Chain A
Amino acid sequence: MDATHAPAVQVGDKVRKGQNLCASEAETTCICPITGTVAEVRFDPAQHEFVVTIAPTKPG
């Protein structure tokens, strides 16, 4: 997601599939593809983006 705005989530947050991970004021929405826990939020300078890593919740 574009790094102009901070992500709406941080490390340790529980997220659900379909949830918007981008800040509300951001240009676009970033739909969470899976349900899980945010494991990392990393800034990628080359793309000027935040890369959010989500650890999936184990079924059952």
Chain B
Amino acid sequence: MTNRRSVWTAITLMITLVVLPWTTLTSAEVFNYPTPQTDPNDISFYQAPAKMQSYPAGAVRVRNVILCIGDGMGLGQVTLARMKAIGAEGKIHMQRLPVHGLISTHSANKLVTDSAAGGTALACGIKTNNGMIGMAPDETPYYSILEAAQAKGMATGLVVTCTMSHATPASFGSHVKSRKMEPEIAAQLIGNRINVLFGGGRKYFLPKSHSDSGRKDDRDLLAEAEDAGYTVIGTANQLRWVRGPLVLGLFQLDGLTTLSPEPMLAEMTRKAIDILDETATDSRKYGRGFFLMVEGSQIDWACHANKAEACARQVLLFDEAVRAAVDFAVADGRTLVVVTADHETGGLTIPEGSLKGDEIKAHWSTRGHSASPVPVYAIGPKSERFGGVYDNTEVPQRIAQTLGIKPFPQARK
């Protein structure tokens, strides 16, 4: 009898251990978000490149595209992170990519863009007014490069550390007059059936009846997502186990903390690539490759606060995600990786410091955004098209060319 009870206990335990990670969360469940456990300025996670030389340039045909966007990441931010992590003689991963360029970032109505107009330029290939998402100043919506890739038969994904409905990811999967319309943006993201959505902002997916909701209506987008075939997850452990083709991972009510035990941006990026590559390989519907946008969302936030340590950490977290993308691209041989930014934040310069990088002085000229051009780094087939000095609207236009998507930009009928 005792033996039988022990067996049943063991079986129950095994079921619990195996099944729980697969269990999806519903809005009715109470979700206890983890308390941050690590130093917010710690950069010990960062693994500097072992080699100084550049990654090899790619060849032939583009099957997959990974667009990495550092929100607010200008050359000053990249330099600061490099100095903090390696020193003056080193390069962080994005700097090792073989093709370098610079892009201008002005919006349709302002010299200094915001992330809505900047994101729309990088997503749709058009200029719009600050605050507008995925549409021209006259409110004509335009297809994003993600939507165009999806229409071509590619799997698609968005990975961010802000809310899923924040300006940059919103620009790739929604069309609204104002970036403030996050509840509507969240609904459009689900409605667009983007394969992988990883980030924060669960509150915009909960109905107003839920105490944590950020919505003013009764729509339960988590339930709607599940009905549409999404697997909905909320923890790093669930992220490890989940499979495609449709996954909604919301790891905080608001933006991510970017601290343990949340999944790090690089971890989410690797998983998104796994899911999208598998989906594109196994599915006839998505058999034409994948498009993934990865955003280091909180570089901007650190720079608005004029905090150099936090800025360096956020750039390095983003750079780890870039490394994950590049590692896949180098092994795959058919993946184009483009790294850039929507604008610069803080007017950051480094007027003095030591060569080792341990006494860096950061100088901020503003707490807002600036009109400084931002870098582009690229690797993979046709990456040579991303060198030079050009406009941010040309980034998705050049991606469209490499994928054979035309016309682009294109208004939605």
A residues with a Cβ closer than 8 A to B are 2-7, 23, 25, 27, 41, 43, 45-48, 50
Assembled-state Cα–Cα distance A6/B112 (Å):
11
Contacts of B309 in A (CB 8 A): none
Query: How many Å lie between the Cα of A23 and that of B112 in the bound state?
Result: 12
Which of the residues A7, A27, A41, A46 comes within 8 Å of B131, measured between beta carbons? A27
- Chain B contact residues: helix, strand, loop or mixed: loop
15 new A-B contacts, CB < 8 A, other than A2-B131, A4-B114, are: A3-B304, A3-B367, A4-B110, A4-B113, A4-B368, A5-B112, A5-B366, A5-B369, A6-B366, A6-B367, A23-B368, A25-B112, A46-B254, A48-B114, A48-B115
> Is residue B167 contacting chain A, with contact meaning CB distance below 8 A?
yes
Residues of A within 8 Å of B362, CB to CB, are: none
Min distance, Cβ A24 to any Cβ of chain B, angstroms: 12
Q: Once the chains are docked, how many angstroms separate the CA of A25 from the CA of B371?
A: 13
Rounded to whole angstroms, the CA-CA distance of A45 and B368 in the bound complex is 12
Q: Does B298 contact A (CB under 8 A)?
A: yes
| A43 and B112 contact, Cβ closer than 8 Å, known pairs A3-B368, A6-B366 | no
Taking Cβ atoms with an 8 Å cutoff, the residues of B that contact A are 110-115, 130-131, 162-163, 166-167, 179-180, 254-255, 298, 301, 304-305, 366-369
Which residues in A have their C-beta under 8 angstroms from that of B369?
A: 3-5
How far is B113's CA from A47's CA once the two chains are assembled, in angstroms? 16
Say yes or no: A45-B114 contact (C-beta < 8 A), given A6-B367, A23-B368: no
* Contact A43/B301 with A5-B112, A48-B115 known, Cβ cut-off 8 Å: yes
Identify 16 residue pairs between A and B in the complex whose beta-carbon atoms are under 8 Å apart, listed by A's number.
A2-B114, A2-B131, A4-B112, A4-B113, A5-B112, A6-B367, A6-B368, A25-B110, A41-B367, A43-B304, A45-B255, A45-B301, A48-B114, A48-B167, A48-B179, A50-B304
